[in-house]
């Protein structure tokens, strides 16, 4: 919503403003659709010690995920961008604390040790 207001405030012809605002809104709707689809497919992301990812569904099934470039793991926040086998791209914002969560600590260790291959095509 704010992006549309910023676009409408730009010094452009009204035709261009409305076209860019429509494109911005469509992009947002597509992103919401991808998030809802990805969230419905998996409820947990599991990472192996070698950096392999699997998505676990609510019914116990799992499917392989590919980690995409643009994923970041920091001290308390992680942004993981993944691709499903069928090509759907999904991103997840995670928070944690390595002092209180063993899983978060393991994620940071794996991320640091395998940083040279994450996000690169095999």
Sketch the domain layout of the chain as residue ranges: 1-41, 43-122
CA distance linking residue 93 with residue 26, whole number of Å: 22
H/E stretch holding 78 reads strand 77-84
Asked if residue 121 has pLDDT above 60, the reply is no
pLDDT tens digits along 4-51: 888 888 898 989 998 999 999 999 999 899 999 998 999 888 887 777
CA distance linking residue 78 with residue 96, whole number of Å: 8
C-alpha pair distances (Å), 6 with each of 19, 29, 62:
13, 18, 41
The model scores a pTM over 0.75: no
- Among residues 78, 88, 74, 79, which one has the least CA distance to residue 42? 88
Residue 87, token pair as written in the block: 């090509």
């Amino acid at each position: 919503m704010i992006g549309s207001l910023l676009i409408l405030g730009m010094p452009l012809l009204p035709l261009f403003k409305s076209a860019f605002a429509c494109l911005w809104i469509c992009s947002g709707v597509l992103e919401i659709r991808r998030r809802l689809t990805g969230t419905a497919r998996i409820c947990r992301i599991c990472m192996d010690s070698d950096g392999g990812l699997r998505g676990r569904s609510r019914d116990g099934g799992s499917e392989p995920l590919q980690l995409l470039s643009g994923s970041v793991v920091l001290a308390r926040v992680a942004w993981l961008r993944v691709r499903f086998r069928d090509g759907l791209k999904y991103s997840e914002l995670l928070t944690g604390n390595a002092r209180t969560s063993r899983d978060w600590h393991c994620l940071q260790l794996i991320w640091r040790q395998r940083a040279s291959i994450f996000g690169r095509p095999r």
